Amino acid sequence: MPRQNCEDFRQLFVNDTPLMDMRAPVEFVQGAFPTSTNHPLMEDEERKAVGTCYKAHGQDAAIALGHQLINGDIKAARLAQWKAFAEANPNGYLYCFRGGLRSRITQQWLKEAGIDYPMVVGGYKALRRFLIDTIDTVAQQPMTIVGGNTGSGKTIMVNELANGIDLEGAANHRGSSFGRYVTAQRTQIDFENVLAVEMLKKQAQGCTHFVFEDEGRAIGSTSVPLSINAAMGNADVAIVDDPLDVRIDRLIDDYVVRMQRDYIALNGEQQGWELFTEYLERGMFGIRKRLGMKRYEELLVAQQQAIANQKSNGSLTEHDNWLRPLLIEYYDPMYTYQLSKKADRIVFRGNYQEVKSWLADK
């Protein structure tokens, strides 16, 4: 018996159900879902032509043009993609923007090829609305913010906690001048979609109280959803007070060891070193005005010497020469000032393990 079209959006996301997105590539790039794959009914130019025809001559003429554009070998190639997806993902679903004509045509052509494949009722628009509503619902639930100076391991902690929500992970950016990863940051829509799916999974595990890392509104080029940002501004705060040396070790592991390894893995030895060097230099360049040009130039030289030393003999020790003053002179004073505005909301302080243990009981 054929499976029915789906209206249970929660289970789709909680179970990482494979989704076939029938929208045009330009729509998919603007925003999609973590388990979706783009196998469009129409490519961008075809969609544009059909849309123009629809406005000028109505739906029947637009449908006729669509069948004219997508015929013969083109239709066969796209149908082959859809069949391959359906056979590889027998538990999946397809969707278009509203669950309308594109979904029904795809279903019809698949059925003619011997495959009954269900669609998501309401399509992308309904799924997206559901995820936005999920974010707003979580914003109304109890939450605690974990704060602390740069290098306190806050992101590590929220990922270790069963009720932790990793905003930076969802954005694919660490939220500082040195925050980008080797892969591109997510779009705003993709950031929100990944974030909402993570929230749904935590809810399914029984979480009713969430822990977020202390963040500003902006994480790289993305923005924390308004409802979450507002709730974070009123939430209790737990502060990690770890020694400077411990924090520097974490930063070297994160910004130096990990990034150098990832750049080389993705780009090869020579280009990887070049991109890694550029990454650290761009991070320093981004805060040059706040450092003052003289201090910026001094720390940049120290950073370049550390990279050269690391490349020649694998030593990481000289990275302390630019990271330590950067924390003492720039990041720590900035965070101390920001924290002073939240003093009345601080409910717990301790080292990493103490804060983690305290939050685990929430």
Domain check: are 211 and 350 in the same one?
yes
**Do 354 and 248 have their domain in common?**
yes
**Predicted pLDDT of residue 170:** 97
CATH number, position 77: 3.40.250.10
In a domain, 121, yes or no: yes
pLDDT at res. 2: 82
- Mean pLDDT of all residues in the chain? 94
- Name the catalytic one among 6, 53, 96, 207: 96
Same-domain status, 79 and 175 = no
Active site annotation includes 207: no
Please check whether residue 153 lies inside any domain of the structure. Answer: yes
Query: Are residues 157 and 87 part of one domain?
Result: no
DSSP string of 283-341? HHHTTHHHH-HHHHHHHHHHHHHHHHHHHHH---GGGHHHHHHHIIIIIHHHHHHHHHT
Question: Are residue 171 and residue 285 in the same domain, yes or no?
Answer: yes
* 187/307 same-domain check: yes
Any idea which residue has 């020694």 for tokens? 243
- Tell me the pLDDT tens digit for each residue of 97-150: 998 888 999 999 999 999 999 999 999 999 999 999 999 999 999 999 999 999
Amino acid 256: pLDDT = 97
Range in 71-80, 219-228, 338-347 with the lowest mean pLDDT: 71-80
Q: What's the whole-model pTM score?
A: 0.92
In this structure, is the dihedral angle defined by the CA atoms of residues 229, 290, 177 and 236, taken in order, positive or negative? negative
Examine the domain organization and report whether 24 and 165 are in the same domain. Answer: no
The whole domain housing 305 covers: 142-361
pLDDT tens figures, 39-54: 998 888 878 887 887 7
Low-confidence winner among 50-54, 74-78, 150-154 (lowest mean pLDDT): 50-54
Domains in the chain: how many in total?
2
**Euclidean distance between CA atoms 359 and 154, whole angstroms:** 12
Radius of gyration of the chain (CA): 25
Find the mean pLDDT for residues 3-24. Answer: 96
Q: Which range among 75-79, 156-160, 209-213, 354-358 shows the weakest confidence by mean pLDDT? A: 75-79
Domain finish residue from 72, 95, 130:
130
Residue 297: pLDDT above 90?
yes
* 219 lies in the same domain as 122: no
Cβ within 8 Å of residue 282, ≥6 positions away: none
